[in-house]
Every structure is written in structure tokens, then in C-alpha cells.
Amino acid sequence: MFLFISLSDKKSSSFTYSFPTIAVSWLILFVIVALQIYFTSVISENNAKLTAEKMNLEKQNQELEMEKRNLTNQIKDMEAKGNELNISRAQWSIDAYCPRKDGARHCNSCQPGWILFQSSCYVVLNYQSSTDRKTWEEARENCTIRNSDLVVVDNAEEKTYVRDNSYNRPGNEGYWIGLKADGGKWKWVDGSDLADSSWTENPTDGHCAISVTNDGWKSVNCTNRNNWICEQKSLSV
């Protein structure tokens, strides 16, 4: 009897001692399983995000490739149109300066209706009716249509030439030239300043210069309506 009790006590004691160890083991196992589930969930979520980002990047890359192709096509179209325009301009220049006569082309320094002086060609737009005359801006636009600009005077000889071609007309103050008052300075249409201030009056903003046959240059309001003189470079033949 004593032995039985002794063995039972030993088993009970052994169970008592092993229970905390088992509990701790189960707890550790539970934590491990929970962590595994958590990290599996996190990894799965991150993988889903990465997959979505990858798909989004692939979509953006496809869109960029499409934009690149479209831009390339646009550039090619612009180059083709530019080449056509250059050819058209070249053909215009050939027809304007080298008209056909008797089956052959004969080139001139200036196109018909223009006058050669030094290295430029000039056309004097001379209208008797005031309704045909233009403001300074309108005159410049008209020169642009003619592939030219209002005359820019570079030297005294050219100034004399322009003056001599500024014919007097009743009701016409003079002929617009490419000189305009801007910020207290006289500016040519090519962006340069008037080199010799003695050639005309002091600049007044809103005024432009006209050439008058007997009086040289005058400063008048740019909105006045006058005749004008256009200039373009001559062709070397």
C-alpha cells in the first residue's frame, strides 16, 4: 500500500512538473502558427499590391509607347509638310525670279514689278485712293504677304534712293518705312536701333516714320493711312 501511494505521488508530481512545459510549448506553437498566418497574409497582400503596380506600370509603358509612336508619326507628318512647303517656296522663288520665256527660264535679280538697288529689291505701293492706303501695321502685313518687310535703310545712299522713290501724292503724307518708336527709341523692323538719330525727329511712342520726297523722314502717328515701300533681298544671278 505504501508503495502504491508512493508511485502515485511520483506520477502526480511528474504530471504537475510537465504541465507548464506542455502549456508553454503549446503557447509557442500557437504563436508560431499565428505569426505564420500573419506573415503569409502580409506577403500575400504585398504580392497583390506588387502585381497591381506591375500591371499599372505595364499599362503606363504601353500608353507611353503609343504616345511615342503618335509623336513620331506627327513629327514625320510635320517633316513631310515642311518639305512640301520648302519645295513650294523654292518653286515659287524659281517662278518669281526665273520666269519661263520662249521655253526657257531667264533669271532676274528681282521678281517682276520690283526694282533692284544695291543688294535689295524694292516695290513702291502707291495708291491714289485713301481707302487703299494702310496704317503702318497693315502696310507691314502687306509686305509680309509679299515675302518681304517694310524697308530698312542701312546707309545714306539707300536713304536717298528711298526718298527719291517716295513720290508726292495729294492727301498722302509720305511712305511708310520699317521704323517705329518703341520705348523711347527708334527701332527698325529687323530689331536694330536707328544708328543716325539726325535722320529723323525724336521718337514718340505710337509714332512711325514716313519718307517724304522733299522733306526726308517725318514722325507721324502709326494709325495714319499712307502708301508704303517693301524690301526683300535680291537674287544673286
pLDDT digits (tens, 9 = 90+) for 57-103: 888 888 888 888 877 777 776 766 666 655 566 666 677 677 777 77
pLDDT in tens, 104-150: 777 788 888 899 999 999 999 999 888 899 999 999 999 999 989 99
First to last CA, the chain: 142
* pLDDT value, residue 80: 63
Model confidence at 175, in pLDDT bands (50, 70, 90)? Answer: very high
* pLDDT value, residue 52: 82
SS3 236: coil
Cell 509623336 sits on residue: 71
* pLDDT value, residue 5: 44
pTM score: 0.61
Whether the predicted pLDDT of 41 surpasses 90: no
Residue 81: partners with Cβ closer than 8 Å, 6 or more residues away: none
Distance CA 121, CA 199 (A): 22
DSSP, residue by residue, 21-45? HHHHHHHHHHHHHHHHHHHHHHHHH
Number of Cβ atoms within 10 Å of the Cβ of 147 = 14
* pLDDT value, residue 90: 60
The Cα angle at residue 99 between residues 95 and 104, in degrees rounded to 5: 120
SS3 128: coil
Strand 227-233 to 149-150 pairing: antiparallel
Distance CA 195, CA 158 (A): 14
* pLDDT value, residue 72: 76
User: Are the C-beta atoms of 176 and 136 separated by less than 8 Å?
Assistant: yes
